[in-house]
Amino acid sequence: MTDAADLRRRTAALLAAHPPAGTDRLDFLRARFDAGLAWVHFPEGLGGLSAPRSLQSVVDAELTAAGAPDNDPGRIGIGLGMAAPTILRFGSEEQRRRWLRPLWTGEEVWCQLFSEPGAGSDLAALATRAVRDEQHASHPGEAGGDWIVDGQKVWTSSAHLARWAILIARTDPAVPKHRGISYFVCDMTDAGVEVRPLRQITGEAEFNEVFLTGVRIPDAHRLGEVGEGWKVAQTTLMNERVAIGGARIPREGGMIGVAAEDWRARPELRTHDLHQRLLTLWVEAEVARLTGERLRQQMSPTAGSGRAGAAPAPQPGPEGSGMKLAFARLAQQISGWEVEFLAEDGLAYDDWTMRRPDGVDFTGREAGYRYLRAKGNSIEGGTSEVLLNIVAERVLGLPPEPRTDKDVAWKDLPR
């Protein structure tokens, strides 16, 4: 099995063959992927070496010290954290080789077409329809024909940048809502895809609404079996919550690091009460960071090859929902503390303009921006209320809430 010493040797070889100072950024990233150093726990040939996930930090540290470029993870977070693990688990070999490399290098940005105006917290109630056209295929010679998709999606981060989208749509309205969904990859440049900005409390339009009108999706762009899209979507959602709430950061990193810097830089604003609250938040942030690290270590050590008979790729469990809950609560409490500590300076926010950002920057903007943007943390990636139910039922083993619609056909549900 690949160990830390082997990874250091491989990284050194990559740097020797492609010196960062003299190599085009994209060429370096492609070479890193091909060397298996993109995500080391992925299979060989798909950006990894089937190594323990925890060893990724060894590669990252060596490359950072050498001044190597990264793949701008803030811009392609949906692809990295949600699309990639889903494609790895449910995609064909052809799909993996087509999509994973440009996804990781950032050549192709991804977005997530899940939530709808009438299906947010109750995502399985979605109404976007996908109807099969058996007679026509958008790619000549392709078996299975196309799917014609109509509907509306909302709260879609990066849709204005994306080439591809992971999409769930209803393919059978005559069965209960969880059983009539299929999972697709949608080309955002296709005819019938319309992206409109949604302006947020921060003034910018990081989110979008997406209208799908007669969009043709080849059957070859389906992940998983027809009608089993909810099973595939669970992989996406569980990985999304870990990506949001369990990202690897250094000690005193993230928003708590900014708050601590403010405290050290502004002694004239200090009070005993604010000090005690900051200490509590610092401890809770460190507990959350270490818990996230432990969660990553508890996952299966390798991703498996995905070949027939091989073990499936490891998937985070409901513990990821707890991590995302903690992240949202801490982000809102820390940003609130910072605004209070900085007094009138904490209200300053001099860039309330309509723009379409590439991503979210929680640590490089003003305190006022962080305070406003953190309000969305308890909604995106699953509302805190839904995640509390998941933790209660699947972690603590408490009785589930009554669900009267479990065995009712979707078409018969009141809307």
Query: In what helix (H) or strand (E) does residue 151 lie, and over which residues does it extend?
Result: strand 146-153
Distance, in Å, from the CA atom of 33 to the CA atom of 13, rounded to the nearest integer, reads 13
Strands (E), 219-310: 222-223
Residues 6+ apart with CB under 8 A from 387: 241, 321, 322, 324, 325
Q: Cα(6)–Cα(48) distance, rounded to whole angstroms?
A: 13
Q: How far apart (Å, rounded) are the C-alpha atoms in residues 16 and 243?
A: 32
If one counts every other C-beta atom within 10 angstroms of the C-beta of residue 338, the result is 25
In contact, 205 and 354? CB cutoff 8 Å: yes
Q: Judging by beta carbons within 10 Å of its beta carbon (0-12, 13-18, 19+), is residue 170 exposed, middle or buried? A: buried
User: What angle do helix axes 4-17 and 25-34 make, rounded to 10 degrees?
Assistant: 140
End-to-end CA distance of the chain: 54
CA dist., res. 359 & res. 357, Å (int): 5
How far apart CA 39 and CA 43 sit, in angstroms, is 9
Beta-bridge mates of residue 148: 131, 216
Whether the CB-CB separation of 310 and 304 falls below 8 Å is answered with yes
Q: Which amino acid is at 149?
A: V
**Considering 108, 209, 240, 366, which one is annotated as catalytic?**
240
Any catalytic annotation for residue 240? yes
Secondary element (H or E) of residue 214: strand 207-218
Beta bridge partners of 350: none
- Catalytic residue set: 240
